């Protein structure tokens, strides 16, 4: 069975601090995809990144970076120099690559509060 | 480009009433998903369609819930009769299924309150 665990329920940091959001996943599939979504206070779900299980290269996009480690089944998300606008709930999700479609299994989310 | 469009954005209804949520997926996408978000259960998949055909409705909580996708550009999620425990945010999402996983894009959600 597939499962995504985000052990950190809430994190509070002060602006300009770096923060890492943890994500650990379980799957029996050899090919799968991992995602991060952001849910700001306004409520919409915003796609941040999609990563193929065959691609373990870390990715950087501005202040955001992602560390994918297959050996530990983790896909962690780091925000560098956090800003108040980063305050949101962040969801990690897993999708199998086989089968008829690509439904997402979500973690429970991490609420990030960035204080000014 | 237009994203996934959901309506209504907010709905308050009385217990026992029928509720219909609507979704227009992104043009060209052939997979459509209905998710529900609650504090207790988080984000859970209710049902998804591929090419307008329901593939898996195992997440639909009970017979009071039904979903349809009459064509590639429209889907509905209906609750009849509604109950207070149905209060949640209902998200519609779509993606382009090409035999491999692609990004799933979400609408802004329909916030349902059943009193």
Tens of pLDDT, residues B45-99: 999 998 999 988 999 988 999 999 999 999 999 999 999 999 999 999 999 877 6
Tens of pLDDT, residues A55-69: 888 888 899 999 999
pLDDT of B78 reads 98
Q: Distance between CA atoms of B91 and B80, rounded to whole angstroms? A: 18
Which chain A residues have a beta carbon less than 8 Å from that of B100?
97, 102
pLDDT of A100 reads 55
Q: Model confidence at B101, in pLDDT bands (50, 70, 90)?
A: low
For A41, phi then psi, to 5°, come to -55, -25
pLDDT of B103 reads 85
B42–A106 CB contact, under 8 Å: yes
Among the ranges given (A18-22, A58-62, A94-98), the one the predictor scored with the smallest mean pLDDT: A94-98
Q: Distance between CA atoms of A18 and A15, rounded to whole angstroms? A: 9
Task: Give the single-character DSSP code of B64.
Answer: T
pLDDT of A98 reads 61
B43–A97 CB contact, under 8 Å: no
Q: Cβ–Cβ contacts within 10 Å for residue B21, how many?
A: 22
- Range A76-95 burial, b when 16+ CB lie within 10 A, else e: bbbbeebeeebbbbbbbbbb
**CA B24 → CA A66, A96, B39, B107, distances in Å?**
32, 25, 26, 9
Task: Check: CB of residue A75 under 8 Å from CB of residue A67.
Answer: yes
Which chain B residues have a beta carbon less than 8 Å from that of A32?
101
Q: Distance between CA atoms of B77 and B81, rounded to whole angstroms? A: 13
Bridge-based pairing of strands A88-96 and A110-115 is antiparallel
Give the three-class secondary structure for A85: helix
In 3D, which of B10, B50, B47, B2 has the Cα closest to residue B27?
A: B2
Instruction: Note whether A35 contacts B: Cβ–Cβ < 8 A.
Output: yes
A97–B55 CB contact, under 8 Å: no
Q: pLDDT: is B22 or B104 the higher one?
A: B22
Q: Distance between CA atoms of B65 and B21, rounded to whole angstroms? A: 11
Mean pLDDT throughout A32-56? 91
Mean pLDDT throughout A64-81? 95
User: Is residue A26 over pLDDT 60?
Assistant: yes
B109–A37 CB contact, under 8 Å: no
Q: Distance between CA atoms of A39 and A61, rounded to whole angstroms? A: 18
Token pair of B111, please?
A: 């916030």
Which chain B residues have a beta carbon less than 8 Å from that of A107?
42
Mean pLDDT of chain A: 92
Task: Check: CB of residue B65 under 8 Å from CB of residue B83.
Answer: no
């Amino acid at each position: 069975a597939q499962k995504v665990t985000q052990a950190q329920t809430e994190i509070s940091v002060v602006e300009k601090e770096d923060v890492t959001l943890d994500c650990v996943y379980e799957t029996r599939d050899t090919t799968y995809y991992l995602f991060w979504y952001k849910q700001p206070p306004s409520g919409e779900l915003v796609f941040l990144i999609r990563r193929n299980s065959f691609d373990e290269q870390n990715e950087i996009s501005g202040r955001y970076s992602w560390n994918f480690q297959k050996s530990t089944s983790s896909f962690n998300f780091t925000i560098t120099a956090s800003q108040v606008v980063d305050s949101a709930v962040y969801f990690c999700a897993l999708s199998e690559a086989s089968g008829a479609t690509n439904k997402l299994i979500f973690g429970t989310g991490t609420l990030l509060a960035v204080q000014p | 480009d237009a994203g996934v469009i959901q309506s209504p954005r907010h709905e308050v209804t009385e217990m026992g009433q029928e509720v219909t949520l609507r979704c227009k997926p992104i043009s060209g996408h052939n997979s459509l998903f209905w998710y529900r978000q609650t504090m207790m259960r988080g984000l859970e998949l209710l049902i998804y369609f591929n090419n307008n055909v329901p593939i898996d409705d195992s997440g639909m909580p009970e017979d009071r819930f039904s979903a349809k996708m009459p064509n590639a550009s429209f889907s509905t999620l209906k609750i009849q009769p509604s109950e207070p425990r149905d209060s949640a945010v209902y998200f519609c999402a779509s993606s382009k299924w090409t035999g491999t996983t692609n990004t799933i894009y979400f609408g802004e959600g329909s916030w349902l309150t059943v009193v």
